[in-house]
């Protein structure tokens, strides 16, 4: 979904209001989201002057987010400040405070459909890890870069988590705003710390959603943080020791692959590019089972008919439709009526009022990129 000025204004107003109330942790979250929205708006600006204004505004919001960190530390007392300084040392902030590590508990079996996509990921990314002797014999290098692209709501993040689970790898999830906003002016150092933390694990998957915000197409004019960050990312990707036991996998996800810097798509970088399409009929049926199977449903609910009606809908759309359909009998029950099951009429009524979030023109753009890379 495209970022709008309304989204930016909402996040900015909430951030500033929380800042004035002294709720610095809350304020920082909203200010970072507002800055990220403004960076996205800068990419679609109609003039260079407007783009520069947007980027400058984003930097001001990031500065205010930094101030939230300082004020929060001061409010914690001198002991906390000494601990922070000791942890930071001479090399700047400790990355453990903003890098999120997790061990996902969902695998490929939990991801509806996409059998061809899963097999491609297994072939290029998982089998070299799980069959190291065969990979060595055939000189197949493990790890590398993977780009997942496609319409919003198609399960790119879930697929990235499932890949980490299949590898039994530590999953590092980072947003572009965290790289760009944390300790402004040190974005390149943040990238180095991220990759260093990942390489310290036996197996690692770095996942960055909306990766085009971090490595957008570079312009010949102007000097921005982006023009320093892109080369740093490329340097880290090229620095993979893919013959080592600790080789890692870098996954970027995007709804706008055409906005990525072209250098990111060359061999040795995000050279494995996988299109994540809208769910097919089998996937739509599995999604319905996932989102309705644990809820009380009436005997007249026809999954086959619903699967046909849901052609063109994303996985996120289907999840939303199931939730809205469940809300109908729930609200009736809250109002005092006898609790009842979700009926086919509930689902069809929600469907009639809920168009697909992905437009046919968007699909044409993705298919063109899949064919031409542009």
Total structural domains in the chain?
A: 3
Locate 297 and state its tokens.
């449903």
Q: Which of 100-114, 215-229, 327-341 has the highest mean pLDDT?
A: 327-341
Instruction: Give 299-349 pLDDT, tens digit per residue.
Output: 999 999 999 999 999 999 999 999 999 999 999 999 999 999 999 999 999
Per-residue pLDDT tens over the stretch 170-209: 888 887 777 765 444 567 777 888 888 887 887 888 898 8
φ/ψ bin of 266: left (φ > 0), alpha (ψ from -120 to 50), beta (otherwise): beta
368 in a structural domain: no
Exposure string of 310-335, with b = 16+ CB inside 10 Å and e = fewer, is bebbbbbbbbbbbebbbebbeeeeee
Residue 255 sits in the same domain as residue 106: yes
Please give the residue range of the domain that contains residue 29.
Answer: 5-88
Q: How far apart are CA 286 and CA 295, in angstroms?
A: 15
Interatomic CA distance for residues 191 and 202, integer angstroms: 19
Kindly tell me the sign of the dihedral angle through the C-alpha atoms of 315, 320, 101, 209. Answer: positive
Q: Where does a domain end: 236, 253, 277? A: 277
Residue 61 included in any domain: yes
95 found inside a domain: no
Same domain, yes or no: 258 and 290? no
Q: State pLDDT tens for residues 17-76.
A: 888 778 888 888 888 888 888 888 887 777 777 777 778 778 888 888 888 877 766 655
Whether the CA torsion 280, 284, 287, 293 is positive or negative: it is negative
Q: State residue 220's pLDDT score.
A: 46
DSSP 76: T
């Amino acid at each position: 979904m495209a970022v709008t000025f309304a989204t930016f204004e909402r996040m900015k107003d909430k951030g500033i209001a929380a800042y004035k109330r002294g709720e610095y942790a809350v304020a920082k979250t909203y200010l970072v989201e507002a800055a990220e929205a403004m960076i996205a708006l800068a990419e679609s600006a109609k003039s260079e002057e407007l783009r520069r204004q947007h980027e400058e505004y984003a930097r001001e919001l990031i500065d205010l987010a930094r101030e939230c960190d300082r004020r929060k530390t001061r409010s914690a007392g001198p002991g906390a400040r000494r601990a922070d300084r000791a942890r930071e040392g001479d090399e700047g902030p400790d990355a453990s405070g903003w890098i999120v590590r997790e061990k996902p508990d969902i695998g490929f079996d939990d991801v509806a459909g996409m059998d061809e996509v899963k097999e491609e990921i297994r072939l290029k990314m998982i089998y070299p890890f799980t069959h190291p002797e065969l990979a060595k014999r055939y000189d197949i290098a493990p790890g590398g870069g993977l780009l997942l692209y496609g319409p919003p709501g198609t399960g790119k993040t879930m697929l990235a988590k499932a890949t980490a689970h299949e590898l039994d790898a530590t999953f590092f999830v980072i947003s572009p705003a965290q790289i760009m906003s944390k300790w402004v002016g040190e974005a390149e150092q943040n990238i180095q710390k991220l990759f260093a933390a990942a390489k310290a694990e036996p197996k690692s998957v770095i996942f960055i959603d909306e990766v085009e915000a971090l490595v957008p197409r570079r312009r010949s004019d102007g000097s921005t943080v982006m023009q320093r960050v892109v080369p740093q990312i490329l340097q880290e990707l090229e620095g993979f020791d893919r013959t080592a036991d600790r080789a890692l996998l870098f996954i970027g996800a995007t709804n706008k692959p055409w906005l990525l810097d072209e250098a990111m798509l060359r061999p040795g970088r995000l050279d494995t590019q996988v299109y994540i399409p809208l769910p097919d009929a089998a996937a739509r049926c599995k999604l319905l089972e996932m989102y309705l199977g644990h809820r009380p449903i009436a005997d007249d609910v026809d999954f086959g008919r619903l699967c046909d009606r849901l052609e063109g809908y994303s996985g996120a759309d289907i999840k939303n439709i199931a939730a809205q359909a469940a809300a109908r009998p729930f609200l009736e029950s809250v109002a005092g009526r006898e609790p009842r099951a979700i009926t086919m009429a509930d689902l069809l009524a929600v469907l009639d009022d809920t168009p697909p979030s992905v437009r046919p023109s968007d699909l044409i753009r993705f298919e063109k990129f899949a064919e031409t890379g542009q």
